[in-house]
């Protein structure tokens, strides 16, 4: 995801990790910012505020050959002006494999 014509994405992570899937297991759950439901967590929802001033761009990249049915809905609100104390939403996924530990 890019906010306001940034050169690099400010959100870059696997979709399952972004929506809170742990150990590749989708289940029904609700929390303040995320949810998965109905029917064994097949629908993912994110309620994080993601403010931007001029533009937002969201791309989903599929990296396998298996067919996929993908439905999405993005809801947003427009304001004349964004409060100066609002930051920008960032998310970055990283892993170490194998994990060296301490």
Separation CA 35–CA 45 (nearest Å): 5
Separation CA 18–CA 16 (nearest Å): 5
- pLDDT, tens digit, 9 for 90 and up, residues 51-76: 998 899 999 999 989 998 888 899 98
Higher pLDDT, 100 or 13: 13
Share above pLDDT 90 across residues of the chain, in percent, rounded to a whole number: 40
Residue 15, SS3?
Answer: helix
Share above pLDDT 70 across residues of the chain, in percent, rounded to a whole number: 99
The answer to whether the bond into 40 is cis (omega within 30° of 0) is: no
The answer to whether the bond into 98 is cis (omega within 30° of 0) is: yes
pTM for this model (two decimals):
0.79
> Taking a C-beta distance cutoff of 8 angstroms, is the pair 1, 58 a contact?
yes
Check pLDDT > 90 for residue 9. yes
């Amino acid at each position: 995801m890019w906010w306001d014509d940034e050169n690099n994405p400010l959100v870059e992570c696997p979709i399952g990790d972004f929506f809170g899937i742990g150990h590749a297991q989708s289940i029904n759950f609700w929390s303040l910012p995320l949810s998965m439901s109905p029917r064994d967590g097949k629908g993912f929802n994110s309620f994080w505020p993601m403010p931007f001033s001029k533009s937002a761009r969201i791309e989903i990249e599929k990296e396998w050959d298996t067919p996929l049915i993908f439905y999405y809905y993005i809801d947003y609100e427009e304001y004349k002006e964004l409060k100066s104390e609002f930051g920008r939403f960032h998310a970055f996924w990283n892993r170490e494999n194998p994990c060296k530990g301490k």
